[in-house]
């Protein structure tokens, strides 16, 4: 994968997160260790024993959505469309010169547009049967997210909606990478989106997975994850195209690995075998050895089991090198933004390479003997990042690793 | 450097349908004009305009998977898991007992790519309504695990020990074709030894209500042609359920293990109409473009197309876009093109439909004849395809089949498949 042909780079980043929106703002706040989680405002949590969430506050879709009617878009689509617009602007592609048929969209999600089911359920429970279901098909099915992005931008090429839960952003980036390498598209927007929803919140609350206060990944006293919302979209294009138009290249997408534990719907394999295989596949495709990885963006949800098993999986792949590679989880700041999470974390990897800085894992104060690696606690770190690995795991036993690397003089890092 | 590309073949088929539980059964039923449509009894259709659909009454996973605890699997999960068992069995990769074994050393890493429009919106809605009515502390954690849209793919993977890539893809009614295309690319790129690819969808109250309120169903049972694909008096589709999965693997791998080669996935394409069907010209142009791209990617010409396995469902706009787009893409060839449309008898199985269309195409290439379109006795004036009605049409087994999927809101996908050398053995 080191030849000039078929190489794909990241040239634009758009993100809407609980710590802010836009590449520069999000990156600054993540490096500053800003906590974006707090008391849930979207709905009344008085019936729950937990109350914290990672919501996006003050988001005004009309500031971003130009073609479609922003008020008529469901929430996850609003976030996705806004992130897509930001990404194109960031890439210097306010006007896309490529034919629309060559421009595609691949988006991931966990729940699609769950608020549309909630509207339906409110109607059904209240026995408003005459109203129930109106507009449901136009607004609910998850593929409307990728459709709304494409309709907003006039993108008439490849269009894929990949609802592989909390690994979906990585799946979408991987799909887009292959679409570009195979020549099915020459410009792809890839990312993920999910909105805050009572269904998701209720579910994680019933699993006992939500932390009562903050998300503290890899800490001995970690109490769980914090459901969140957001969207991130990356502009991906072939290297030659990016160089030809003088684009800023944040990073190259080097390779990926996708596997399944085939073990349990909501719990990872305790031995980390599936996660390890995904990392190994990604390394193999990228032509890299484990010790060449400069940074790992961990899935790091803050649940007792995830962080322990993820640590086991990293040790399986990296061996002794596991102790030397800095690892962090931005979920400590954002909460778990579901289908958006690994897309946001992919942006983190690209920006770590681009800026030579690594965001911290905040709230990590008391190390867990079972999580004994370098999780960059508390403070961001400056260090040249040549290769960044983005790991994501999901319901269904999905494991997805994507590797990014620095581009040097139009060539990849050694 | 691009990823390696290897020829991808189909070595097995597994399905659950209202018209039979194997590819030959389904094909025979389609050829005989047997309908899978019935009055819906699984849920209350009072107050809805449409009361018919393609439900699989009496579906029992125990018949395939044996006595086991099925509680963790919702209906979509059961449909997908049973179809996967049958496809594993049919391909010689080991059937329903595969997941029971503890030693998987040396066996192929098999993935799964499932197309689905909803996963199970019934599971999601029930979970939420229970929390609304009884309080969040009474919502069922087990249901939440299935509320993610990729739950069925995860459940099937656990059941059958499918440790390769586990993907789910949604595009509405194009999901099944998109999943087969995605699976074929993963195999071609050497990312997995073999992959089960296709779709699964359940018929449930919540989605049925949405389709009916959205004016997309065929409506009341007062017009026999209301849900007949391409019919002049079509009004909409009849929602349906089912699952179909194809075992895809590299030709080399299939040969080396002595597997039957039923077909080859030759090419595919997908695109989006930003007008989402509102502009009929752009909608038809998108179908035309996708059909051309798919044939180009397969390296075949319009003259090589032996069969169209159509997406047509009775949708007034979708069927027209498809007919016009395919006719434009195939030029002169369109005037004599055999067309089959499984939704005439199966209904619109959403994320599973494209996989059913592909299975019907395999069977038609194998037999050299395709089922006609049941109930089709009148098309719109100036309709561009030669639709011959319910009679079987001869198909050149040496040609390729074009499988087209036209979504409800802008997605269009197509597959090109050709018959394998073992196709004549009569299996698919």
Burial class (CB in 10 A: 0-12, 13-18, 19+), B23: buried
Q: Is the pLDDT of residue B117 over 80?
A: yes
B353 touching A (Cβ < 8 Å) = no
Partners of residue A101 in chain B, C-beta under 8 Å: 271, 289
Interface test with A, best of B170, B190, B207, B317 (most A CBs within 10 A): B170
pLDDT range class, residue B195, cuts 50, 70, 90: very high
Nearest-CA distance from B408 to chain A in Å? Answer: 9
Q: What is the distance between the alpha carbons of residues B418 and B298, in angstroms, rounded to a whole number?
A: 10
CB < 8 Å to A274, chain B: 163
Q: What is the pLDDT of residues B16-72, one digit of tens each?
A: 999 999 999 999 999 999 999 999 999 999 999 999 999 999 999 999 999 999 999
Looking at residue B97, what is its pLDDT? 67
d(CA B52, nearest CA chain A) in Å: 18
Burial grade of A248 (CB within 10 A; 0-12, 13-18, 19 or more): middle
> Is B49 within 8 Å of chain A by CB?
no
SS3 assignment, position B204? coil
Tell me, what's the pLDDT at A2?
A: 36
B213's tokens: 């309120």
CB contact under 8 A, A144 and B409: yes
* Nearest alpha-carbon partner for B241 in B346, B339, B330: B346
pLDDT given for residue B383 in this prediction: 87
A57: which 2 tokens? 């506050």
Residues of chain A positioned with their CB less than 8 A from the CB of B153: 164, 396
- Contact check, Cβ <8 Å, B133/A125: yes
Is the CB of residue B134 less than 8 Å away from at least one CB of chain A?
A: no
A265–B131 CB contact, under 8 Å? no
Task: Report the distance separating Cα A349 and Cα A388, nearest Å.
Answer: 6
Q: What is the mean pLDDT of residues B169-173?
A: 96
pLDDT by residue (tens digit) across B302-339? 999 999 999 999 999 999 999 999 999 999 898 899 99
Domains and CATH numbers, chain A: 8-244 (3.40.47.10), 256-412 (3.40.47.10)
Q: How many interchain CB pairs under 8 A, A with B?
A: 258
Interface residue B167 vs chain A (CB under 8 A): yes
Residue B32 near residue B289, CB atoms below 8 Å:
no
How far is the alpha carbon of B238 from chain A, nearest alpha carbon, in Å? 15
Show the tokens assigned to B281. Answer: 């010209």
Distance from CA of A44 to the nearest CA of B (A): 11
**CA distances for A198 relative to A53, B144, B162, B381, B402, angstroms:** 11, 12, 32, 50, 43
**CB–CB contact B148 A111 (8 Å):** yes
3-state secondary structure chain A: CCCCCCCEEEEEEEEEECCEECHHHHHHHHHCCCCCCEECCCCCCCCCCCCEEECCCCCCHHHCCCCCCHHHCCHHHHHHHHHHHHHHHHCCCCCCCCCHHHEEEEEECCCCCHHHHHHHHHHHHCCCCCCCCCCHHHHCCCCHHHHHHHHHHCCCCCEEEECCHHHHHHHHHHHHHHHHHCCCCCEEEEEEEECCCHHHHHHHHHCCCECCCCCCCCECCCCCECEECEEEEEEEEEHHHHHHCCCCCCEEEEEEEEEECCCCCCCCCCCCHHHHHHHHHHHHHHCCCHHHCCEEECCCCCCHHHHHHHHHHHHHHHHHHHHCCCEECCHHHHCECHHHHHHHHHHHHHHHHHHCEECCECCCCCEECCECCCCCECCCEECCCCEEEEEEEECCCEEEEEEEECEECCEECC
Rounded to the nearest angstrom, the gap between the alpha carbon of residue A363 and the centroid of all alpha carbons in its chain is 21
**Position A263 confidence tier, pLDDT thresholds 50, 70, 90:** confident
**CA separation, residue B206 to residues B47, B150, B210 (Å):** 14, 18, 6
| Whether A338 contacts A54, CB under 8 Å | no
Q: Cβ–Cβ of A164/B286 closer than 8 Å?
A: no
- Whether A166 sits among the annotated catalytic residues: the reply is yes
Contacts of A161 in chain B (CB under 8 A): 169-171
Is B309 touching A (CB cutoff 8 A)? Answer: no
User: Per the CB < 8 Å rule, is B410 touching A155?
Assistant: no
Task: In whole angstroms, give the CA distance from residue B292 to residue B286.
Answer: 10
Interchain CB contact of B161 with A (< 8 Å): yes
pLDDT, position B157 = 96
Question: B73: which residues sit within 8 A by CB, 6+ positions away?
Answer: B61, B81, B146, B155, B159
Q: Which residues of chain A does B351 touch, with a Cβ-Cβ cutoff of 8 Å?
A: none
User: Which sign, positive or negative, has the C-alpha torsion B319, B324, B329, B334?
Assistant: positive
Single out the residue of A72, A254, A32, A139 nearest to residue B409, CA to CA: A139
Nearest CA distance, B28 vs chain A (angstrom): 33
| Closest approach of A6 to chain B, Cα-based (Å) | 5
Q: Which of A103, A166, A195, A371 is catalytic?
A: A166
How, if at all, do strands B263-272 and A159-162 pair?
A: unpaired
pLDDT above 70 as % of chain A = 97
| Residue A125, both tokens | 């429970």
Give the one of A140, A258, A395 whose C-beta lies nearest to B154's C-beta: A395
Q: A409: pLDDT confidence band, cut at 50, 70 and 90?
A: low
Confidence at residue B326, expressed as pLDDT on a 0 to 100 scale? 97
Other beta carbons less than 10 A from residue A99's beta carbon: 11
Residue B406 has pLDDT above 70, yes or no: yes
Half-sphere exposure of B225 (CA within 13 A, CB side): 14
Question: Which has the closest alpha carbon to A285: B301, B295, B386, B186?
Answer: B186
By DSSP bridging, strand B8-16 and strand A103-108 are: unpaired
Whether the predicted pLDDT of A6 surpasses 80: yes
**Pick from A166, A164, A160: which is nearest to A188 by CA?**
A160
**Segment A115-125 mean pLDDT:** 98
By the 10 Å C-beta count (0-12 exposed, 13-18 middle, 19+ buried), B110 is classed as buried
List Cα–Cα distances, A167 to A243, A251, A391, A398, B169, in angstroms: 30, 20, 8, 7, 13
pLDDT bracket for residue B95 (50, 70, 90): low
Model confidence pLDDT, tens digit, residues A159-189: 999 999 999 999 999 999 999 999 999 999 9
| Residue with token string 């990769």 | B93
Cα B202 from chain centroid (whole Å)? 12
Q: What is the ipTM of this complex?
A: 0.96
Tell me the Cα Rg of chain B. 20
The answer to whether the CB of A335 falls within 8 A of the CB of A37 is yes
Which pLDDT value is given to residue A414?
A: 42
Q: Which residues of A touch B131 (CB under 8 A)?
A: 198-199, 202
CA closest to B73 among chain A residues: A265
B169 close to B177: Cβ distance less than 8 angstroms: no
Mean pLDDT of chain A: 96
CA distances from A106 to A103, A332, A365, B407 (A): 10, 27, 38, 16
Answer whether B30's CB lies under 8 Å from B347's CB: no
Predicted TM-score (pTM) of this structure: 0.97
The alpha-carbon gap from B123 to the nearest alpha carbon of chain A, in Å, equals 11
Is B155 in contact with A265 (Cβ distance < 8 A)?
Answer: yes
Residues A389, A296 contacting (CB under 8 angstroms): yes
**pLDDT at position A396:** 86
Residue of chain A whose alpha carbon sits nearest to that of B183 = A175
Clarify whether A336 is annotated catalytic.
yes
The answer to whether B179 touches B167, Cβ cutoff 8 Å, is: yes
Judge contact between A395 and A69, C-beta under 8 A: no
Token couple for A274: 């599936």
Query: Residue A128 CB: number of other CB atoms within 10 A?
Result: 10
Q: Are B107 and B194 in contact (CB under 8 A)?
A: no
Of A396, A135, A359, the closest CA to residue A267 belongs to A396
pLDDT of residue A46: 96
Q: Do B149 and A110 touch (CB under 8 A)?
A: yes
Report the pLDDT value the prediction gives residue A314, as an integer from 0 to 100. 98
pLDDT at B114 over 60: yes
Using 50, 70 and 90 to split pLDDT, how confident is the model at B1?
very low
Cα torsion angle, B343, B349, B354, B356, sign: negative
In chain B, what are the domains? Answer: 8-263 (3.40.47.10), 266-419 (3.40.47.10)
Mean pLDDT of chain B: 94
Question: Inter-chain contact B117–A141, Cβ cutoff 8 Å?
Answer: yes
In angstroms and rounded to an integer, the radius of gyration of the C-alpha atoms of chain A is 20
Nearest residue, CB atoms, B136 vs list A47, A157, A394:
A47
With 70 as the cut, is the pLDDT of residue B112 above it?
yes
Partner residue facing A117 (CB), from B124, B213, B216: B124
Contacts B84 to A, Cβ<8 Å? none
Distances (CA, A) of A134 to A74, A366, B210: 14, 51, 7
> Is residue A119's pLDDT more than 50?
yes
């Amino acid at each position: 994968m080191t030849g000039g042909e078929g190489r794909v780079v990241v040239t634009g980043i758009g993100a809407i997160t609980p710590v802010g929106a836009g590449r520069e703002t999000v990156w600054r706040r993540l490096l500053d260790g800003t906590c974006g989680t707090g008391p849930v405002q979207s709905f009344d949590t008085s019936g729950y024993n937990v109350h914290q969430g990672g919501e996006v506050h003050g988001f005004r879709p009309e500031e971003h959505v130009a073609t479609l009617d922003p008020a008529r878009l469901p929430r996850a689509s609003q976030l996705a469309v806004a992130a897509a617009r930001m990404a194109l602007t960031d890439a210097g592609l306010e006007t896309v010169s490529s034919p629309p048929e060559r421009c595609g969209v691949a988006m991931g999600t966990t729940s699609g547009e769950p608020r549309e089911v909630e509207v339906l359920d409110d109607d059904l429970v209240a026995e408003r049967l005459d109203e129930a279901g109106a507009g449901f098909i136009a607004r609910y099915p998850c593929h409307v997210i990728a459709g709304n992005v494409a309709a907003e931008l006039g993108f008439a090429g490849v269009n894929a909606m990949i609802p592989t839960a909390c690994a979906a952003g990585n799946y979408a980036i991987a799909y887009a990478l292959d679409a570009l390498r195979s020549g099915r598209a020459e410009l792809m927007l890839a990312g993920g989106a999910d909105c805050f929803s009572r269904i998701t919140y209720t579910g994680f609350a019933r699993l006992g997975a939500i932390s009562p206060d903050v998300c503290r990944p890899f800490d001995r006293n970690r109490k769980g994850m914090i459901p969140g919302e957001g969207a991130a979209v990356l502009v991906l294009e072939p290297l030659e195209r990016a160089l030809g138009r003088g684009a800023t290249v944040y990073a190259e997408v080097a390779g990926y690995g996708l596997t399944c534990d085939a073990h349990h719907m909501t719990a990872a394999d305790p031995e980390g075998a599936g996660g390890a295989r995904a990392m190994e596949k990604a390394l193999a495709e990228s032509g890299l050895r484990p010790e060449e990885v400069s940074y790992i963006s961990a899935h790091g949800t803050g649940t007792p089991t995830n962080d322990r098993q993820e640590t086991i999986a990293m040790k399986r792949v990296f061996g002794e090198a596991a102790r030397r590679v800095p690892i962090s989880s931005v979920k400590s700041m954002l909460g778990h933004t579901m289908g958006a999470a690994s897309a946001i974390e992919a942006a983190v990897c690209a920006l770590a390479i681009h800026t030579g800085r690594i965001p911290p894992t905040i709230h990590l104060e008391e190390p867990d003997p079972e999580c004994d690696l370098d999780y960059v606690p508390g403070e961001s770190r400056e260090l040249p990042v040549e290769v960044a690995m983005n790991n994501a795991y999901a319901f269904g036993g999905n494991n997805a690793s994507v590797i990014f690397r620095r581009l040097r003089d139009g060539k990849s890092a050694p | 450097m691009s990823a390696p590309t290897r020829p991808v073949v189909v070595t097995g088929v597994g399905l659950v349908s209202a018209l039979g539980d194997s590819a030959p059964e389904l094909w025979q039923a389609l050829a005989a004009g047997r309908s899978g449509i019935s009055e819906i009894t699984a849920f209350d259709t009072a107050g809805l305009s449409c009361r018919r659909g393609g439900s699989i009454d009496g579906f029992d996973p125990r018949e395939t998977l044996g006595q086991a605890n099925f509680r963790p699997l919702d209906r979509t999960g059961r449909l997908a898991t049973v179809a996967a068992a049958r496809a594993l069995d049919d391909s010689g990769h080991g059937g329903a007992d595969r997941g029971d074994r503890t030693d998987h050393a040396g066996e192929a890493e098999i993935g799964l790519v499932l197309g689905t429009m909803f996963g199970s919106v019934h599971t999601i809605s029930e979970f939420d309504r229970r929390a609304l009515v009884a309080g969040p502390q009474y919502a069922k954690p087990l249901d939440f695990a299935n509320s993610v849209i990729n739950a069925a793919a995860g459940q099937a993977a656990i059941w059958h020990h499918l440790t390769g890539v586990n993907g789910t893809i949604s595009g509405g009614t194009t999901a099944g074709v998109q999943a087969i295309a995605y699976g074929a690319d993963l195999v071609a790129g050497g990312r997995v030894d073999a992959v089960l690819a296709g779709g699964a969808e359940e018929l449930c109250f919540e989605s049925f209500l949405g389709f009916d309120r959205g004016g997309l169903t065929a409506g009341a049972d007062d017009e026999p042609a209301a849900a007949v694909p391409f019919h002049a008096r079509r009004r909409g589709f009849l929602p349906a359920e089912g699952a179909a999965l194809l075992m895809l693997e590299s030709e080399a791998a299939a040969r080396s293990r002595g597997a039957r080669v039923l077909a080859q996935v030759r090419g595919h394409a997908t695109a989006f109409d930003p007008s989402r069907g509102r502009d009929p010209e752009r909608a038809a142009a998108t179908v035309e473009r996708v059909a051309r791209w798919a044939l180009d990617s397969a390296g075949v010409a319009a003259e090589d197309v032996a069969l169209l396995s159509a997406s047509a469902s009775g949708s007034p706009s979708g069927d027209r876009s498809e007919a016009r787009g395919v006719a434009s893409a195939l030029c002169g060839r369109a005037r004599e093109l055999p067309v089959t449309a499984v939704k005439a008898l199966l209904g619109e199985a959403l994320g599973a439909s494209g996989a059913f269309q592909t299975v019907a195409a395999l069977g038609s290439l194998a037999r050299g004849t395709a089922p006609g379109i049941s109930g089709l006795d009148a098309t719109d004036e100036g309709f561009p395809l030669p639709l011959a009605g319910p009679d079987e049409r001869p198909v050149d087994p040496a040609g390729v089949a074009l499988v087209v999927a036209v979504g409800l809101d802008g997605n269009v996908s197509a597959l090109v498949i050709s018959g394998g050398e073992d196709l004549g053995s009569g299996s698919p």
